């Protein structure tokens, strides 16, 4: 898969485009934690392209700066991974290595995903930037989108995102990812209409994922449990969590 359809969905202005290859050497010169991570970068990444730099001068959106973070520009980067790569770890390493907010389009074969991560000043090291969390889509095939994914693509146009400042614009893209995640559960793609709704949507998605992980763990325990009473207790707990999932689904 190439990243053309995702880039087209963003509708980047021509004067924001950079289209420069990013050397893996430049990435490896950053603060890559371990030798295993460095091997992931070296062996897992086939190609990285710096597609565009979104700045006030080319998209008409002001910078954002406060005591927590500074967004002077947003980088749009595509990364083509080899089949043997571990995408989740490489995506995290790329977001950690680049000191400004990144719209990262990752592809493995015909599959792709979009990921973002808010960044802030480190509280322990002056001048160092750290990520808060990474939000990413599930893998999708741009040439074979389902209705929810098609609605997601339609929501990505840069000119249609919040334009108060670059932080708001970046958060707008994160809200698009959250809406797609919610649509996988609810069956409908709906963008949050306010900051409060966006915050609630994000929290509900996190809680839904947490409960799903707990249910998987409890089911594995129940299958191995030999004591009937204990198995009954585990199944009752699973039932309770299933009911919580159903309640959260109504909020998504």
137 and 223 fall within a common domain:
no
102 and 171 fall within a common domain:
yes
Structure token pair of residue 220? 């594995």
User: Dihedrals φ, ψ of 149, to 5°?
Assistant: -65, -35
99 and 62 fall within a common domain:
yes
244 and 122 fall within a common domain:
no
150 and 89 fall within a common domain:
yes
93 and 215 fall within a common domain:
no
Q: Is the whole-model pTM more than 0.85?
A: yes
The list of the chain residues with pLDDT below 50 reads none
170 and 210 fall within a common domain:
no
- Residue length, the chain? 252
94 and 213 fall within a common domain:
no
Looking at residue 172, what is its pLDDT?
96
Looking at residue 226, what is its pLDDT?
87
Q: Is 9 inside any structural domain?
A: yes
Distances (CA, A) of 183 to 17, 116, 125, 149, 210: 31, 18, 39, 9, 17
CB contact at 8 A, 11 and 158: yes
Looking at residue 59, what is its pLDDT?
96
Q: Among 191, 223, 238, where does a domain finish?
A: 191
182 and 235 fall within a common domain:
no
What are the tens digits of pLDDT across the range 178-231?
A: 999 999 998 899 999 888 888 899 899 989 989 999 999 999 988 888 888 888
Looking at residue 245, what is its pLDDT?
87
86 and 12 fall within a common domain:
yes
52 and 86 fall within a common domain:
yes
How many domains is the chain partitioned into structurally? 2
Question: Domain containing 214: what range?
Answer: 204-249
Q: Among 164, 191, 218, where does a domain finish?
A: 191
Looking at residue 116, what is its pLDDT?
97
Q: Is 196 inside any structural domain?
A: no
Looking at residue 2, what is its pLDDT?
64
What are the tens digits of pLDDT across the range 136-147?
A: 999 998 888 999
Looking at residue 143, what is its pLDDT?
85
Q: Is 124 inside any structural domain?
A: yes
Terminal-to-terminal C-alpha distance of the chain: 30
Q: Is 197 inside any structural domain?
A: no
221 and 242 fall within a common domain:
yes
């Amino acid at each position: 898969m190439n990243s053309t359809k995702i880039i087209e969905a963003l509708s980047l202005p021509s004067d924001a485009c950079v289209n420069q290859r990013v050397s893996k050497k430049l990435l490896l010169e950053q603060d890559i934690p371990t030798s295993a991570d460095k091997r992931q970068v070296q062996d897992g990444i086939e190609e990285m392209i710096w597609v565009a730099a979104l700045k006030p001068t080319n998209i008409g959106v002001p910078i954002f700066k406060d005591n927590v973070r500074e967004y002077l520009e947003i980088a749009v980067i595509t990364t083509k991974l080899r089949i043997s790569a571990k995408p989740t770890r490489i995506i995290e390493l790329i977001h950690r290595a680049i000191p400004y907010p990144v719209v990262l389009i990752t592809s493995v074969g015909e599959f792709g995903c979009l990921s973002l991560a808010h960044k802030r000043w480190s509280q322990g090291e002056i001048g160092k930037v750290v990520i808060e969390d990474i939000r990413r889509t599930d893998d999708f095939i741009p040439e074979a989108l389902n209705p929810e994914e098609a609605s997601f693509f339609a929501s990505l146009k840069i000119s249609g995102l919040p334009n108060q400042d670059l932080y708001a614009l970046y958060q707008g893209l994160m809200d698009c990812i959250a809406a797609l995640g919610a649509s996988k559960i609810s069956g409908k793609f709906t963008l949050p209409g306010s900051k409060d709704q966006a915050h609630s949507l994000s929290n509900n998605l996190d809680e839904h994922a947490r409960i799903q992980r707990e249910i998987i763990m409890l089911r594995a325990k129940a299958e191995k449990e030999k004591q009937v009473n204990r198995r009954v207790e585990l199944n009752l707990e699973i039932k309770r969590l299933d009911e919580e999932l159903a309640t959260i689904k109504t909020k998504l």
